[in-house]
Amino acid sequence: MDGQITLTDEQIQTLFDSGVEIRVNELRVIYKSAWEKLRANEQLAILDAYFNGPSMVRGGTKFRRHMIAYVESGNPQHLKDAIYELEYCSNPEKNDGLFKRRKVQAELLDSTKAPLYTKPGESPLPAFASITVIPGKTIISRGMHEHYGAHPDQRYYVWRTQMDPKVRKAHAALEGKVFSIEDPSSIGHPGNDYNCRCTAEPLPAIAQVIEEPLEVKHIRLTCIELGVMMADWHALQREMVLIGV
């Protein structure tokens, strides 16, 4: 009526996604094979800088030269140089708002601050690494089985939800948790509950599953058994007293 178009959330999301996709494809052309070797945080920082000021990260820039050298050599000094370029050299007007934005992008780009820093393209976890997993408690990041392969013990799986607003709270609480086929969650296995769209993802091969210590279970059982036995014993004693043995 007034010349405005009302977009649905879905339409806005589609527009946003396609906008991001176009830029990512442009950056793939600019950074060539180096793009795929960058970490997610590095790609995101560049994507944000590209959206905000394309001239600073595109072909022929010092920033791009440093990033390519970083990927090719694995030397984190080149990343530091790129960070410096992004933070201090891209804002000659010393615009305060832009400076704050650049600082956030620089922070995001600085992978060397990650506790398990490795060279570009390498796995963030060393080959000998393992994750200790306690079923029902430990939360596993998405897609780790794609990186490390699936665990040979197929009794275990990772609970995955659809990660959208329709996921019930009780199901969302199980996202990423590990369960065994023999010991399901309180709402069963993925897909058991009414209209459940949750799925079971393979456990990554580097998982070391720690089941609840068997001794504890055994002691707990013994205590109950012992309680029953004691009660029986008292009853028996009473009977014996009554009988007058």
Report d(CA 62, CA 82) in Å as an integer: 8
Nearer to Zn ion, 200 or 209 (CB): 200
**Out of 66, 102, 145, 171, the residue judged to bind Zn ion by CB under 5 A:** 171
Residue 47 or residue 198: which is nearer to Zn ion going by CB? 198
**Closest CB 198 distance from Zn ion, rounded Å:** 3
The structure tokens listed for 93 are 């007007």
* Separation CA 55–CA 53 (nearest Å): 6
Nearer to Zn ion, 67 or 198 (CB): 198
* Least Cβ distance, residue 65 to Zn ion (angstroms): 48
Candidates 210, 201, 209; CA nearest to 174 is 201
* Amino acid sitting at position 72: E
Bridge partner residues of 201 (DSSP): 158
Residue 199: its H or E element: strand 199-202
Beta strands across the sheet bearing 199-202: 178-180, 156-160, 199-202
In the complex, minimum distance from the CB of residue 162 to Zn ion, in angstroms, rounded to a whole number: 8
Is 204 strand, coil or helix? strand
Residue 198 is a binding residue for Zn ion (CB under 5 A): yes
Instruction: Rounding to the nearest 10 degrees, give the CA dihedral for residues 166, 172, 177, 183.
Output: -90
Candidate segments 33-41, 94-102, 142-150, 164-172, binder of Zn ion by CB under 5 A: 164-172
CB of 139 to Zn ion, least distance (A): 16
Torsional sign, CA 93, 97, 101, 107: positive
Number of residues that bind Zn ion (CB under 5 A): 3
Nearest CB to Zn ion, comparing residues 178 and 196: 196
Which residue in 196, 203, 206, 207 binds Zn ion (CB under 5 A)?
Answer: 196
Q: Is 82 in the site for Zn ion (CB under 5 A)?
A: no
Structure tokens at 38: 């960058």
Establish if 57 lies at the interface with Zn ion (CB under 5 A): no
Report, in Å, the least distance between residue 179 CB and Zn ion.
13
Tell me the window of 10-18, 97-105, 112-120, 168-176 that interacts with Zn ion (CB under 5 A): 168-176
Binding site for Zn ion (CB under 5 A): 171, 196, 198
